[in-house]
Structure 1
């Protein structure tokens, strides 16, 4: 006998969005890996000055630099609410908004690669 439809429900469903890589994107101009890394460093160095908590910015950076499984753990542990699954817009538990550019989350399609 058993309950109708119970096998279709995932037991550890939390209602939180699962983190994913951003959709492919294109930088306005082709850039090298070193230029991309410089853009990322500049963003992370200045991001806390625009508001929010330093510990949330630190968690977002750690998540952005981690593989997807670890990123999910970091976001969940820090109490970060991802509005978008690609983490471009997030909130902390007090409702403060954090916006992340795609260039800190993934590589552009038009990155110059050296052989």
Structure 2
């Protein structure tokens, strides 16, 4: 039986911890400005994919924060992390939130503006 403070726990009985995303490469070299534009477009349209705006806001804050702060943000928002890099998460109602690589980390082929 759950309670207000219960959360999704992993096999070992602990909340899944967030880790840095794996290194990735974009098909074309991007500038920081292009990457920022892609991220802004995603976050502006993300609530239209479903789920709660508050959860999308928490995920954005977590994606832009250091790992330790990101963990606090998702825990406080009640986000259920199913992939350690935050690419797939759920809220307490079961809505799924998919985050693309480019909002979670920078590609290896990022070029200067």
Tell me, which stretches of 5 or more residues in structure 1 are unaligned? 1-12
Corresponding residue of 1:6: none
**Structure 1 residue 92 corresponds to structure 2 residue 91:** yes
Corresponding residue of 2:36: 37
The 5 A counterparts of 1:1-115 are: 15-113=14-112
Structure number with greater Rg is 1
CA positional deviation for 1:26: 0.6
Counterpart Cα distance in 2 of 1:21 and 1:39: 20
Tell me, which stretches of 5 or more residues in structure 2 are unaligned? 1-11
CA positional deviation for 1:14: 5.6
Counterpart Cα distance in 1 of 2:84 and 2:112: 28
Report the TM-score, using the length of structure 2 for normalisation: 0.87
RMSD over equivalenced CA pairs, Å: 1.2
Deviations 1:4-56 (A, max 9, x none): xxxxxxxxx86111111110001110000000000000000000011000000
Structure 1: 4+ residue segments shifted above 2 A:
none
For residue 87 of structure 1, give the secondary structure of its aligned residue in structure 2. coil
Report the TM-score, using the length of structure 1 for normalisation: 0.85
Equivalenced residues, count: 102
- Going from structure 1 to structure 2, the CA distance change for 1:110 and 1:63 (only over 3 Å counts) comes to same
